[in-house]
Structure 1
Amino acid sequence: MLDTSQEEVDSLQREFNWVLETEVGNVIQQLRSAVQECAAKFPLPVGNINTERPPATERFALSAGPTNPNDQIKVIVTLCGDSIAQADINLKLPRPHSKDAYHNTNIREDIPWKLQQIQDAANHLLMASEALDSIDEQHKFKSANDVNNFLRNVMGPLLRSRSSLVNPKKRTLEELLASKNSKALNPPLSREVAVSFYLQSWKLVFAVYHMVTDKGVARFDRYQADCTVPWINDVLLLLTVALQTGQQLKDKLDILSQYKEIDINNKMENPA
């Protein structure tokens, strides 16, 4: 490390003190605002937010795009809170050496299809909110370590909340066929067809796995339709901004901590 003059040390110490006394509080307030705004976007209560509002209901038509030139998949869903309350599913799946197979089914209101990713994301967001609420606005941090530990308790849940929406859990075909959600389909689909609804980033995805036997060899063909869910797009943007805000503060403290000459963990009250 290059030699640092006393004047530079004093300047760095003043900058560190300012970060600890002023910028940390500003960043925490920004994180609180982002988390509250994010929670308000969810279609179900998050802590004490949205408790009096009924679950939001939206209707979507999923599209398979250019990979579905012959209207192999037609899906219209009603998304209510963290569940698919209703769905009309029409499948036209090709079979070798024979006519297409048609599969039509529905999801009824009395047996909704649960989207656990939404509830998981809300739960993690609540943990971040509780971490932010664990200190009052006048709280003074005494060291960089204190700030970093606090940021870890906030940013960890925020990252997991984002990951819950972006990265769906992978399931085997056997798990899909045996899942409770499959019981929501009325009438049930044949054993040669497995379906799944899940979230991936800002999209609601409907995936179809069709077992085809050709000349004694079995394979699974996969088809997909999806749609954009606007509120999820908004939530992901807010979570990303909040994570970037926290990371920028952490990076600044990490840079300052590289200067061994300044008192980074026992702040000087009145540097020269």
Structure 2
Amino acid sequence: MNTAARVALVTGAGQGIGRAIALRLAGDGFDLALADVKADKLDQVAGEVRALGRRSEVISCDVADREQVLAAVAQARKGLGALNVMVNNAGIAQVAPLLDARLDDVRRILGINLEGVLWGIQAAAEAFRAQGGGGKIINACSIAGHEGYPLLGVYCATKFAVRALTQAAAKELAHDGITVNSYCPGVVGTDMWVEIDRRMSEVTGAKLGESYDRFVGNIALGRAETPEDVAAFVSYLASADANYMTGQSVMIDGGLVYR
């Protein structure tokens, strides 16, 4: 998909959905700033971006730390010359009954899934304004931002909150020509879902793979989602075709949750 924007920053770009988004945007003609707390995983992705003929900038960043997110955006602009698209993709999941939630665990997931998105919105908006306005902010939400699931209650709360941030930011930043949208994947075949399945097995006594298979069995299109499925939708959100879309958190889940 052709796009006028040239530089995108993707957090959590070292693996899974983040890697797929980075490679899809590189294929669309973007240069990529690749940010991840696991910086050792970024060199391979950076090489894949360069193999597609695009420039890449590798950035070590813990999105829960506001100063690190601001610094990541500054490094992207310095290394690649501008910033046109910010993809706040980094996130984690936690599997536990709500009654077992403890302060340290709640603070950790809020710091990454919610605060990380907020800091990304702030940093990107500041950069876009400094460049004269315009730009796209794309946030990682989830079907868990539209429906609460047992054993994933705190995770769901963070994703419901991302929807709220997306709507509020879209309204606040529209006069600067900045659009803000979210993508809401379902059951994606990544390491995150391997971990979710493992923890559900520990909590419920289900066999390994059973919880994953149960969720996949409810998908209308009959298969688990791939990171590339998600990346294809992010490609649209990053493109000029989505210029008139803002404040939306759209499910791309193969037909699992209907709203």
If the TM-score is normalised by the length of the shorter chain, which range does it land in? Answer: under 0.3
More helix by share: 2
> Higher relative contact order at CA 8 Å, sep ≥6: structure 1 or structure 2?
1
More strand by share: 1
